[in-house]
Structure formats: structure tokens, C-alpha cells
Amino acid sequence: MRDPFKIDSPTCISFSGGRTSAYMLWRVLQSNGGLPAEAVVCFANTGKEAPETLKFVQDCATNWQVPITWVEYGRGVVTPETASRNGEPFAALIAKKHYLPNPIARFCTSDLKVVPIAAAAPEDADTMIGVRADEPRRLPKLRARGLLVPLADDGITQADVQSFWKGQRFDLGLEFNDGGTPLGNCDLCFLKGPNQIKSLIADKPERAIWWAAQEELIGATFRSDRPSYAAMLHNAQAQVDFIGHDEEAIPCFCGD
């Protein structure tokens, strides 16, 4: 059986900044004796990732001696030192479109991540993403688009990923619970479950300020089936239970 992590043609490895995609990168390095000359590793920064995510990306590059290209919407290639930390790329995209992404029109994923990564990839490169075998709902569409999913092809599950990181000398400094990393990807992404959002705002209310500001700017909300971020912030500060039910988070290209 062919090693799904073996690279023999131009390939862009999409690194979300989470444990799963980092494990994928490690497997690529092991299978190829380092990063092949025809491959590039790209991390798309939205400016709303947790500081721990940005540090983790740098730690992977340093500990594994692998170059990681940082890209941003509207700026192209940036460096870890010049990368945005306050949602600037995301805010610029919203201001340009003058409407908010939502669960139906998730243009933030395509414009903030897919497009900038594609622009930095080698010509005619395949794209490799970190989707596991225990994420079956995502796989058919991804494979239909021609994306490479070596973790799924190799039968890798969340348990395998977590087991790997327990044995490493460094790790993503974000808590893993309930089968995921609540602060992975954009901090209060509207695709996260409502109880997850509630918990994250209660833990650090200032997380909601940027999201509330975008809704105020556009005069709309990221989701019509939930309170505004300003209302959620107010209720969190008043210790009001503003969401009476939970629902499953919606996965997207962003990874873990």
C-alpha cells in the first residue's frame, strides 16, 4: 500500500495551527526524510487565532526544523513577527464585502484561508489537509475536490493524535476536552456550539468585543438563530443563561 504521506509532486500542506494538522505535518516529515523540495507548508492567519496557536505554529517550525509560510488576506506572505493579532484581516474582509459570513455563506473560510494559501502554493500543486478518519461527514466533499487527506487514508483518529502529543516535548497550549479544542481556530467562531461560545465568553468576556464590533458595523448578526455577540457579552457579565440548548458545532476547512 502506498504511503499517503509520501510526496512526489508539488504539494501545499495546509497547516491550521492545531494538533491534527501538526501531526499530519510530522508524518509527512517522517515519510519524506524532511520537507520535500516541491512542497510548502502554509499557515493562514486570520488575526483571531489564540496566541497559543501562533506560538504552536512557531514551535513546530523550530522543533522540527521545517519552514512554515505565514499568509494573510490582503497582505500575502507575512512573518510571525508581523502577523496580525487583533482580527485585522478578518475585519478588512468584512468591511470590503459589507456583510457578515454565516453558517450558509462561510466566505471567511475561502477568503481568509483557502485563497491566501493557494496564492502561496507552487503552481499546479495538490493541497493536503488534516482531516481524520473519524470525521467521515467531511471526507466525500473534500475528496471530490481533489484534496489530499492522508490522515483519513491512514485510518488516523482523534485518539491517535492525542496519544502522539502526550509523548512530545512541546504541545499546543490550549485545553482539549469533549473531543475537541474549544479555542482552536478563530476564538469565538460562529460555527462553534452555543454552549461552547457561552463558556468562552464567560471565561474571558473581552473575547466578544471584536465580534460585537463587526455586527455593529454591518448592522446584522453572524447567526440569526442566536443572540448578538453584544447581547451574549452583556448576559455573560450579568451571569444570565442566554442559551438554553446546545447543538453540534459545524466543521469547516479551518481544521482543529
Mean pLDDT within 134-160:
95
- Matching residue, cell 444570565: 240
Residue 37 within a domain: yes
Model pTM greater than 0.95? no
Q: Are residues 112 and 211 in the same domain?
A: no
List of residues 6+ apart from 219 with CB closer than 8 A? none
Residue type, 98: H
**Cell for 199?**
463558556
Residue numbers of the domain that contains 205 = 194-237
Rounded CA separation 28/105 (Å): 33
More confident: 255 or 103:
103
Whether 244 has a pLDDT exceeding 80, the answer reads: no
Q: Are residues 231 and 114 in the same domain?
A: no
Write down the pLDDT at residue 183.
Answer: 87
Mean pLDDT within 33-59:
97
Residue 246 within a domain: no
pLDDT band at 249 (very low <50, low <70, confident <90, very high): very low
- Using CA atoms in the order 229, 98, 111, 190, what is the torsion angle rounded to 10 degrees? 20
Summary mean pLDDT of the chain: 93
Domain count across the chain: 2
- Matching residue, cell 492522508: 150
Q: Are residues 231 and 127 in the same domain?
A: no
- SS3 of residue 3 by DSSP: coil
Beta bridge partners of 76: 72
Residue 137 within a domain: yes
Residue 220 within a domain: yes
Residue 150 Cα to chain centre, angstroms: 18
Rounded CA separation 50/216 (Å): 23
Q: Are residues 122 and 232 in the same domain?
A: no
More confident: 180 or 221:
221
Poorest-pLDDT segment among 17-26, 63-72, 182-191: 182-191
Mean pLDDT within 70-94:
98
Rounded CA separation 72/115 (Å): 9
The enclosing domain of 65 has a CATH number of: 3.40.50.620
